[in-house]
Structure 1
Amino acid sequence: MIELAHGESRLGVLPETGAALAFWTHRGVALLHPVADPNLADQHGQAVAAYPLIPYSNRIGDGRFSFGGESFALAHNFVPERNSIHGNAWQHPWDIAEQGEDYVRLTFDHDPSSPAARAQWPFAYHAALLYRLAGDALEVRITVHNTDRRPQPVGLGWHPFFPKVAGTRLGFDARSVWHKTPDGLPDGRLRCEGEFLYAPPRTLDGVDIDHCFSGWDQLATLTWPPSATDEGRSIELAADALFGHLVVYVPPGRDFFAVEPATNMTDAVNHLDIADAGMTILDPGAHVGGVARLTLRAG
């Protein structure tokens, strides 16, 4: 593990575990919440606090899609689902390209020449990920270059987990949310109202949600109440306009939740006819990238 430091902030980075984060703390208080997910076998039981979603966010239905006149079948990497999830960059060790006291730049090259690698993603790409501590903020910069000889569809995302206690609040404004089938795939767009309305911020007490929002305003606020051992705090999650979607995952009865900026809607590669599906078609040699930033505020 690499440990970065800036002022009173500490960041643990796990290059060997898909460029995931192990922790982010400030004055010893955990700002992210490590989670071990047995369904993600390639994380090898490691509890991770955040990880990149490359070259797509969320699910591809049955792991199948067509593009450029070809049909592709991906490996099912999220047992027991038949869908493929979150790309394949999280499944591999990354290389350390550059490192300083408060930053690290990691890289990963995907070569689909073997059948197993092709089943993860059929196009070659180069990914770069920068983690940087700056003041009371964590900056995450993700870039993907198309190193294939043909165009390919690319989506990006970042999957942080946060601690959830009684009274934790979440706020953001979005135009719509995708209703989903029981297997997590989109089957219709809804207005953000009722249980899907997070403007103004609302408590997460009793919330059960795992949905993709579209057209959010690029800023989410997460607020924790004060306690006997914690003065309370808030985090502002801001993202470049490229990240036009926000996945909110609040499992009932658990002590964590996720708020994930992403460029693409769920199963976007099978919905390229939707104007804001969010997949970028990269020509050979082209690249796409953006920044998400978490900024700590006093309670």
Structure 2
Amino acid sequence: MSESTTQTGPQVLTLTRGAHRLDLLPTLGGAIAGWTSGDRALLQPVADPNLIAQEHHPVAAYPLVPYSNRIADAHFTFEGETFALSPNILGESNSIHGNAWEREWTVAHQSEDRAVLILDHRPENTLDGTDPAMQWPFTYRAALSYALVENGLDVELVVENRDTRPQPVGFGFHPFFPRSEDMRVSFDARGVWLSDASNLPQKHATAAGEWGFSGPTDVSARAIDNCFSGWSGHARVDWNDSGLSMTIEADPVFHHLVVFTAPGKPFVAMEPVSNMNDAIHHPEIPDRGLHVLKPAGLLQGKIRFRLVDADG
């Protein structure tokens, strides 16, 4: 384990185990800067200028707290009160991916191969002078654990409601996988949300035909930005030419999977998440994945990324 700070970027916390190296960015949203095994990149760092708080720094994965994906028009009503949020993605009126990725996390524990990061969000106080109530109007604590294991990486998220009132909570994790022509992805889901022009859910369809990914599927020519419902909690990425494969195993709380890819981009994002996109505006959907936490209530789950033999 080591820490470093460059003149052109944020603090980097490095974990190692065997051939694995994991570079973390605690002060930049608790993100992963990169994950490698030897000279092989297992995640793809991506600089997205539309995500304002990432300040053009490349990140390979980051937490989604206290909700995944978009809240339409950056406002919502909960228990009779309406709240306005700050749009945090350029070119959209929506807010996206919560606010944890916009904040500095504190390193609570660190060892050679494991780190635990903590974020305390309070609507009345932030370090950067922005209005925290416009990021999220409720108090919460989030804990994020990264642990390198012999053949992969464990990521665990815990969110605690530290407010005096109930609050709506969802969460997830947003990894980018290196894209190549030989890459194939596979997973099982019951349905898929088809999106409108604002990338908000418009229609629910069966995850079959062009939306079926049960077998290894080439997504290199497709533009996908959709949330899959009834996800089995298992997904796989195969890079056939190199014989490298990775499985994604997530706890049942992550029963949605967001897939994001675009032709010409160097990544495929496969995001285990608890809630459907814009869940807060869809109380009519029984399995929307939004959790109402009472004070001191917890939401937690673990995601396991494992390297496997090509025939495994």
TM bucket, shorter chain = over 0.9
- In structure 1, the gaps of 5 or more residues are none
Q: Pick the aligned partner of 1:74 from 73, 85, 91.
A: 85
CA contact (8 A) 1:167 1:204 kept: no
Match in the other structure for 1:173: 188
Structure 1 residue 205, shift from structure 2 partner: 2.6
Query: What pairs up with 1:222-237 in 2 under 5 angstroms?
Result: 222-226=237-241, 231-237=242-248
Structure 1 residue 69, shift from structure 2 partner: 1.0
* More displaced 10-residue stretch of structure 1: 131-140 or 203-212: 203-212
Q: Pick the aligned partner of 2:307 from 280, 296, 299.
A: 296
Please tell me whether residue 245 in structure 1 is matched to residue 256 in structure 2.
yes
Deviation by residue 1:193-242 (Cα, 9 ceiling, x = unmatched):
2221101121123121110000011100100022xxxx330000110000
Match in the other structure for 2:3: none
**May I ask how many residue pairs the two structures share in their alignment?**
295
Deviation by residue 1:44-102 (Cα, 9 ceiling, x = unmatched):
11100000000000000001110011011111001110000000000011000000100
Query: What pairs up with 1:24-35 in 2 under 5 angstroms?
Result: 24-35=35-46
Deviation by residue 1:256-276 (Cα, 9 ceiling, x = unmatched):
110000000000011123110
d(CA) in 1 for partners of 2:304, 2:38: 19
- Detail structure 1 runs of 4+ shifted over 2 Å in the superposition: none
Structure 1 residue 298, shift from structure 2 partner: 2.5
d(CA) in 2 for partners of 1:261, 1:297: 19
d(CA) in 1 for partners of 2:262, 2:221: 9
**TM-score normalised by L of structure 2:** 0.93
Match in the other structure for 1:197: 212
Query: What pairs up with 1:1-299 in 2 under 5 angstroms?
Result: 1-113=12-124, 116-226=131-241, 231-299=242-310
d(CA) in 1 for partners of 2:70, 2:220: 27
Secondary structure of 1:130 counterpart: strand
**TM-score normalised by L of structure 1:** 0.97
d(CA) in 2 for partners of 1:80, 1:176: 29
1:204 partner amino acid: V
Structure 1 residue 252, shift from structure 2 partner: 1.3
Q: CA RMSD in A?
A: 1.0
d(CA) in 1 for partners of 2:121, 2:56: 23
1:285 partner amino acid: A
CA contact (8 A) 1:166 1:205 kept: yes
Secondary structure of 2:257 counterpart: strand
- In structure 2, the gaps of 5 or more residues are 1-11
